[in-house]
Structure 1
Amino acid sequence: MNALYLTARLDIAESLRSRWFMFYSIVFGGIVMLLFMFGLTESRILGFTGLSRLLVTYIQLCVAILPVFILITTVRSVAGDRDAGVFEYMLSLPVPLYAWFWGKMIGRFVVVFLPVFGAMALAAVYAMVRGIGVDWSLFVLYTALLVALAWAFLGIGMLISTLARTPDVAQTGAFLTWLVLLLFLDLILLGLMIRERLPLELIVGIAVANPLQSFRTAAILLFDPQMVVLGPSSYVILDALGRSGYLTFALAYPVALGTLSAGIGYFLFRRGDLP
């Protein structure tokens, strides 16, 4: 456990000194500042005002921005160390492979989630100073959803990084993975349903298997309990799971997916780098 902690701390320290972390932090901090500047804390939509309105917009932006940032920065983790010859040096030290792999993943999770949560905390502090109402239950739920989303794509990124032999291949694979998941949010599934006339339940099941879609649907459910914008598919989700059931699924499934992906990556990592 000490080796795991030290590996995570080392990865956090290296990331905090890197330029990509500074740019990453500026992006999410800048998003919140822009939302403040455009006065979203004062506007109203579907009965939501104050910080709740800002969080609704912020979460929708995170759907597109957060996964690609996590994938691109994470896939260079294992592939970059392999390309730089770090493995040979690592194997000469008394550091277990599991401590290096999982410590690196935990450290990277702290780094990628810190700016996202920091931007939300900044919004909450600003709202309290301005005397704007803060719905803390909604704040906690959004934070939990972001944790699940970040962990899912972090696990996928570690798997891609393990499979790729070079950093360039890893980055290409990460971008293609994000692009495919993004396309399957609505456009391709809608065309598939119309063309093949597949059962609606099957289409919805395929859709929510996409961590981007499960996160997006849960975010919609928090400010629109009837999910009117999803049309007939909302009836399938609410009839099958209900509001609480689907929120539980949206929190548990991405975490399980990320852990499974990272576990497969670790298994392949051990087989491939312990000849």
Structure 2
Amino acid sequence: MKNLILIAKIDIQETFASKWFLFYLLTFAGLIAIFFVTGVVDSRVAGFSGLTRMLLLFIQICIIILPIFILITTVRSINSDRETGALEYLLSFPISLKEYYFGKALGRAFTVFLPIFIALILSLIIAIFKNVDIPWGVFFYYTLLLLVLSFAFLSFGFLISSFIKSSELGLGFSFLFWLFLLAFLDLALIGLMMQSSINENIIYSISLANPMQVFRIAAISLFDPNLAVIGPAAYFILDGFGKINFLIYSALYPTLLGIICMIFGYISFSKKDLI
């Protein structure tokens, strides 16, 4: 455990010194600042105002940019150590592969979620400063959704880096993987429904296997309990799950998926040629 924490600290220190982390931090903190400057907190659209309105906009942005940010920064975590020789150097010490792998994962998880957490705290401060109502239940559950989504894509990144040793190939595959999941948010599924005779319930089930889609629908349900925005799929979700069960599924499924990917990534990492 001591070595695991040590590896995590080393990764955190390296990340704090990197330019991508500063850009990542400024992106999310800057979004909240832009919402504040443009008066989003004071506006009312479709019945949403205050912190609820700000979180609604933040959701739409996080669906797109958060997964690709995490994939790009995570997939290089192990591969960059391979290419610089740091992996060979660290493993020359009495550090096990498990301690190295999960230590890197722990350190990267901290640095991935820290800017999001700072942005959410900043949104709370703005809401308090503006003296608007704070939907605490929505805020805490949305924070949980961001945490599990981040963990899922963090695990995807480590899984990819354990299979693909080249940083360039890893980045390319990560980008294609993100595009694939993004396409299956709406466009690919609509095309599949229009061009095939597949039962729509099967298509909806495929859609709910996409962690980005699960995050999107769960976040929308916090503001629109009837899910009127997503059309006929709302009947499949509300009748098949119920709102509470779907919210539970939305938190558990990405977490379990992330755990499975992290374990498979470690198995691949430990069995392949490391250098």
5+ residue gaps in structure 2? Answer: none
The Cα offsets for residues 54-102 of structure 1, whole Å up to 9 and x where unpaired, read as 0111011100010000000000011111122223212210111111101
Identity rate, percent: 44
Given residue 167 of structure 2, which amino acid in structure 1 is its aligned partner? P
Task: Give the match for residue 133 of structure 1.
Answer: 133
Equivalent residues, number: 275
Alignment of 1:50-129 (within 5 A): 50-129=50-129
5+ residue gaps in structure 1? Answer: none
Shift of 1:3: 1.0
Given residue 48 of structure 1, which amino acid in structure 2 is its aligned partner? F
Shift of 1:117: 1.2
Q: With the length of structure 1 as denominator, give the TM-score of the two structures.
A: 0.97
After the TM superposition, which of the residue ranges 143-152 and 117-126 deviates more from structure 2? 117-126
Shift of 1:120: 1.0
The Cα offsets for residues 201-257 of structure 1, whole Å up to 9 and x where unpaired, read as 111110010111000010111100000011111000110111111111111111111
Instruction: Please give the alpha-carbon distance, in whole angstroms, between the structure 2 residues aligned to 1:228 and 1:145.
Output: 21
Alignment of 1:1-275 (within 5 A): 1-273=1-273
The Cα offsets for residues 149-185 of structure 1, whole Å up to 9 and x where unpaired, read as 0000000000111111211011111111101111111
Tell me the secondary structure at the aligned position of residue 75 of structure 1. Answer: helix
Instruction: Please give the alpha-carbon distance, in whole angstroms, between the structure 1 residues aligned to 2:197 and 2:235.
Output: 18
Instruction: Please give the alpha-carbon distance, in whole angstroms, between the structure 2 residues aligned to 1:209 and 1:157.
Output: 18
Given residue 259 of structure 1, which amino acid in structure 2 is its aligned partner? I
Instruction: Please give the alpha-carbon distance, in whole angstroms, between the structure 1 residues aligned to 2:15 and 2:274.
Output: 27
Instruction: Please give the alpha-carbon distance, in whole angstroms, between the structure 1 residues aligned to 2:102 and 2:46.
Output: 42
Instruction: Please give the alpha-carbon distance, in whole angstroms, between the structure 2 residues aligned to 1:144 and 1:45.
Output: 25
Instruction: Please give the alpha-carbon distance, in whole angstroms, between the structure 2 residues aligned to 1:274 and 1:44.
Output: 55
Given residue 121 of structure 1, which amino acid in structure 2 is its aligned partner? I
Given residue 50 of structure 1, which amino acid in structure 2 is its aligned partner? G
Shift of 1:268: 0.5
Instruction: Please give the alpha-carbon distance, in whole angstroms, between the structure 2 residues aligned to 1:18 and 1:43.
Output: 37
Say if 2:44 and 2:53, in contact at 8 Å, map to a contact too. Answer: yes
Instruction: Please give the alpha-carbon distance, in whole angstroms, between the structure 2 residues aligned to 1:85 and 1:16.
Output: 20
Instruction: Please give the alpha-carbon distance, in whole angstroms, between the structure 1 residues aligned to 2:199 and 2:220.
Output: 23
Tell me the secondary structure at the aligned position of residue 133 of structure 2. Answer: coil
Instruction: Please give the alpha-carbon distance, in whole angstroms, between the structure 1 residues aligned to 2:123 and 2:221.
Output: 22
Given residue 170 of structure 2, which amino acid in structure 1 is its aligned partner? A
Alignment RMSD: 1.2
Tell me the secondary structure at the aligned position of residue 209 of structure 1. Answer: coil
